[in-house]
Amino acid sequence: MNDASLPSAPLAGVRVLDLSRVLAGPWCTQTLADLGADVVKIERPMRDGAGGDDTRGWGPPFLRDRHGHDTAESAYYLGANRNKRSVTVDIAQPAGQALIRRMAEQSDVFVENFKVGDMARYGLDSASLLALNPRLVYCSITGFGQTGPYRDRAGYDYAVQGMGGLMSVTGPSRQEIADDAPGGGPQKVGVAVADLFTGMYATTAILAALRHRDVTGQGQAIDMALLDTQVAMLANLGANYLATGVAPQRAGNAHQNIVPYQVFEVSDGHMILAVGNDGQFARFCAVASRTELAADPRFARNADRVRNRAVLVPMLAEIMRRRCKSDWLESLEAAKVPCGPINDLAEVFADPQVQARGMTVTSPHPLADDLRLVASPMKLSKTPVQYRRPPPLLGEHTDEVLKEMGLTAEDVASLRASGVV
């Protein structure tokens, strides 16, 4: 996978020292790795059956070996750690801390997601490492940030989705299902969006800091928090509240500011109708043979449709139920009206558009012939994403990386004998 004929990657030559675990940090560093950075993932050595990134054991499902048996590599871990090298270091030991400091001196970026204060106890906080390497970009990812009354709390995606308001606007409306009925009440999003968005914001902040470093020669500290990111992600709903003082409520599969923009039942299932402007609404009405709705002053403009949602949506629901999904999709797509099916994941990866865009990648793995992963969505014309390495085994590259740092085989053997690596 290390083909010298591949074009230069945009982050080639950037060394990232990654002390993060679980999802937000690893998602950030995987993105940097996909863009060519040399990401060295620091993990706990195996002790008494435990070690490494916690997510290695977050299964099933696990990767299956060549004989069809489960390995110790969970699908969760595999999905956020490609293109990295794994080195085991016990940072609780002074010799391990010294090793990390030595590695930080040779790195461009340092990423960690320990609780506030943990890195300072180890002498690995931003002030200490920036004193050693003033060009270092040091990114801390925590639940609530380095300041504020919640700074010492552990932060998890699920809790932050609740605290940050996302769950208050996710789930069926009270008119659809009462809060105390099965399926009612606030709901979390199906994937860990607070973690993932924090990882992506961290990536952007790191790239900005690297740009600043390249111009000025100065590194800096980045303070990323899941709660901050979740609040920022409220986007238009946050703006709605700040503009009016009225907290948006759950709207189910509908949109707070656009109508019709929701799931509708059709004769053989459900589909999405996502009308984004008045012209699209007029074209929908033509496809539905109800052109009078587009001319009705209650519905002609989106603002009117939002105000008269309770009148319009039941009318559209009755219209949509009269035809099957394939009929609607074909007719609406021909009329350039945004719409779509609701696919399960098997249908997603079988979709011809998903396949044409190369959204899966297959690579060899030390434990399996073929490892399939979701590909990066970034399509760069001059410096495309490269899949150089599968997600590493625990400590797979310890000897390799320490040798690159100048340690001898005897040095590494001594560190291993003392439990440091």
Q: Per the structure block, which two tokens stand in for 232? A: 């920022």
The catalytic residue among 34, 90, 108, 195 is: 195
Buried b (16+ CB within 10 A) or exposed e, 37-63: bbbbbbbbbeeeeebbbebbbebeebb
Strands (E), 143-243: 220-225
* DSSP three-state, residue 254: coil
Amino acid type, 143: G
Question: How many Å apart are CA 92 and CA 99, to the nearest integer?
Answer: 11
Question: How many Å apart are CA 19 and CA 29, to the nearest integer?
Answer: 10
Question: How many Å apart are CA 327 and CA 76, to the nearest integer?
Answer: 38
Question: How many Å apart are CA 294 and CA 224, to the nearest integer?
Answer: 46
Amino acid type, 83: N
Does the annotation mark 48 as catalytic? no
CB atoms within 10 A of CB 204: 11
DSSP secondary structure code for residue 344 in this structure? -
Strands (E), 83-145: 84-88, 109-112, 137-142
Closest CA to 183 of 260, 252, 80, 237: 252
Question: How many Å apart are CA 117 and CA 141, to the nearest integer?
Answer: 12
Q: Which helix (H) or strand (E) holds 319?
A: helix 309-320
User: Residues 402, 103: contact at Cβ < 8 Å?
Assistant: no
Closest CA to 200 of 72, 26, 37, 78: 26
Q: Return the bridge partners of 273, or none.
A: 262, 339
Using CA atoms, how far residue 48 sits from 44, 88, 375, in Å, is 12, 15, 35
* DSSP three-state, residue 279: helix
Question: How many Å apart are CA 396 and CA 161, to the nearest integer?
Answer: 35
Q: What sign for the dihedral angle of Cα 382, 383, 386, 388?
A: positive
Q: Which residues are catalytic?
A: 195
